[in-house]
Chain A
Amino acid sequence: MSVDNCKSICREIEESDYGANLTGSAIEHLRGCRQCQRFYDERLKLRQLVANLETVAAPADFDLRVRSRIANERVGRRAEFWSSNFTFGIPSVALASLVLLIGGVFALRTWNAPTSKTVAKQSGAPETNGPGPQREQPSSNGSAARPNPDRRDVATGSGGTSEVTQPDRKPKRNRPFRSAVASSKNGGRVATREFSSTLAPVIKKEDAVASLESPVFPIETSSQPLRLSLDYSGGISRTISVPALSFGSERVLVRGSSSLVKSSPKGAW
């Protein structure tokens, strides 16, 4: 008995249909080969065991359930058809994210653009600027102006009073303003709007002081809430309203060569 012959017989046994007779040569071989005979017997028993597994019956309501599922699917498809226009797929979400991102970047740029532009303008041409740069210039009698944190530059615009260094009551909503205050404290330039270029009359501090005999000059609107208007070049303007002060104000005014500290009654600055 050759090994090749045994292999081919085993293959024949393996591939034969269950219950089918083997070829004559295979039967002849099995009679003389113990190993192949044992393999045949094992395989036959195994296939008998497996083939004896009974067919499992489907439940009685199987057809009904299939019909029901198909009907449900049809209803689902109809609903899907109507709601398909309103579903948010991945492309829609991506598009929405992109739009939000672009919008966010644009808003951020719009928010930051006026401050940086004004600072750049003022640093580029300090002489022509309004009240801010004038603080740096020496006074008329030659003495250098002492940096005074309490001193304020006043510019009256069209119907309102603007004070650049007004303390911020709403810090979160006025970030450029806060940064301007911070930069002024650090000795940097104050980022403000130049009102001299507008049609509104500009009252400079020196003029206001010079026109008054007394260093105390009243502001007619002191009984009203103090309003600070910041007009950005980007078309955005902000108004900060500070309630009227209920205490007497104290200001240091430079007049001539001496500094005067005056206490003024309520309603006078």
Chain B
Amino acid sequence: METLSSIDELSFPVALPQELIADSTSDHALLEATRTGDEDAFAELVSRYRNQITSYIYRMTNDYDGAVDLAQETFVRLYRAVDRYQSTYAFSTYIYRIATNLAISELRKRKRRRLVSLTGFFQGHDGSENCELDPVDERPLQDTELVATERRLAVQRAISTLPEKYRAPLILRDVEGRSYEEISRILQTSEGTVKSRISRARDFLREKMKAYL
């Protein structure tokens, strides 16, 4: 048996960097820590999901400032209801549900207010959202980056003209890459409904994006 001359010779496992510890901590654990008053744990959750939630709400509302505001509201509501959180499902399901509800509420408010927005060009006079996209400018563009940007804008605008019940599942599936099961939990509908809505949304989108296909 080897004898140690001093305590310094004891081999301790190398301490992991703080960032790695934070990353490896599950969302549930962070939320539990938030519940006990750990502000840093909540800050970690915010930094993990802020871009995803902002982006998701932006795709839903097609308004960046509004999306940022709603994303902040999502985190505020999460913080407010942290005691009521049940870790039955994934945390992402929970936070996406809050964000979806906020985004849908905002869309309904806008519909009531009849706000003039960029998407108004694609909306019918009676407020219906099912009208055709403007024809594409056929002239060739020199810069490929411009083409890509223009295409992305067209897709974004086409998505924003979808009825809200089709918009949310399509974004969650094709933009966010969520599974059908998770989408059904977020939207609190059956999986079959989610599948049929996504299929219908793609049909809508195909009609609007014919020029790009």
**B51 touching A57, Cβ below 8 Å:** yes
Interface membership of chain A positions 206-233, coded 1 if the CB is closer than 8 angstroms to chain B and 0 otherwise: 0000000000000000000000000000
Further pairs besides A14-B195, A58-B51: 9, Cβ < 8 Å: A50-B159, A53-B175, A56-B59, A62-B50, A66-B46, A67-B39, A69-B73, A70-B79, A73-B76
Closest 5 CB pairs of A and B: A58-B54, A58-B50, A56-B55, A50-B174, A55-B55
Spot the interface stretch: B84-92, B118-126, B204-212: B204-212
Complex contacts, A57 vs chain B, CB 8 Å? 51, 54-55
> Quick check: is B186 within 8 A (CB to CB) of the other chain?
no
**B76 touching A63, Cβ below 8 Å:** no
Choose one: A18, A47, A56, A65; the contact of B58 (CB below 8 Å). Answer: A56
Spot the interface stretch: B2-10, B24-32, B138-146, B150-158: B150-158
**A59 touching B206, Cβ below 8 Å:** no
From B174, B195, B206, name the one whose CB has the most chain A CB atoms within 10 angstroms.
B174
> Quick check: is B199 within 8 A (CB to CB) of the other chain?
yes
Give A53 to B171 CA distance when docked, in angstroms: 10
CB-nearest residue of chain A relative to B53?
A: A58
* B144 CB to nearest A CB, Å: 13
**A46 touching B205, Cβ below 8 Å:** yes
Choose one: A14, A17, A53, A58; the contact of B68 (CB below 8 Å). Answer: A58
* B148 CB to nearest A CB, Å: 8
**B50 touching A54, Cβ below 8 Å:** no
Complex contacts, B64 vs chain A, CB 8 Å? 56
CB-nearest residue of chain A relative to B159?
A: A50
> Quick check: is A236 within 8 A (CB to CB) of the other chain?
no
> Quick check: is A49 within 8 A (CB to CB) of the other chain?
yes
Count of A-B residue pairs with CB < 8 Å = 89
Complex contacts, B54 vs chain A, CB 8 Å? 56-58, 62
Choose one: A42, A45, A55, A73; the contact of B80 (CB below 8 Å). Answer: A73
> Quick check: is B170 within 8 A (CB to CB) of the other chain?
yes
* A129 CB to nearest B CB, Å: 71
**B72 touching A18, Cβ below 8 Å:** no
Choose one: A17, A50, A55, A67; the contact of B51 (CB below 8 Å). Answer: A55
Which residues of B25-64 have CB atoms within 8 Å of chain A's CB atoms? 39, 43, 46-47, 50-55, 58-59, 64
* A22 CB to nearest B CB, Å: 17
Choose one: A15, A46, A65; the contact of B72 (CB below 8 Å). Answer: A65
CB-nearest residue of chain B relative to A65?
A: B72
Choose one: A15, A53, A69; the contact of B155 (CB below 8 Å). Answer: A53
Choose one: A14, A55, A62; the contact of B46 (CB below 8 Å). Answer: A62
Chain A: residues with CB nearer than 8 A to chain B?
Answer: 14-15, 17-18, 42-43, 45-47, 49-59, 62-63, 65-67, 69-70, 73
**A18 touching B177, Cβ below 8 Å:** yes
Complex contacts, A18 vs chain B, CB 8 Å? 174, 177
Choose one: B47, B50, B195, B213; the contact of A42 (CB below 8 Å). Answer: B213
Give A190 to B14 CA distance when docked, in angstroms: 110
Complex contacts, B99 vs chain A, CB 8 Å? none
| 28 residue pairs bridging A and B, Cβ less than 8 Å apart | A43-B202, A46-B206, A46-B213, A49-B212, A50-B159, A50-B170, A50-B175, A51-B174, A51-B177, A52-B152, A53-B59, A53-B155, A55-B52, A55-B55, A56-B58, A56-B59, A56-B67, A57-B51, A58-B53, A59-B68, A62-B46, A62-B50, A63-B43, A63-B47, A66-B75, A67-B39, A69-B72, A70-B76
Complex contacts, B51 vs chain A, CB 8 Å? 55-58
* B64 CB to nearest A CB, Å: 7
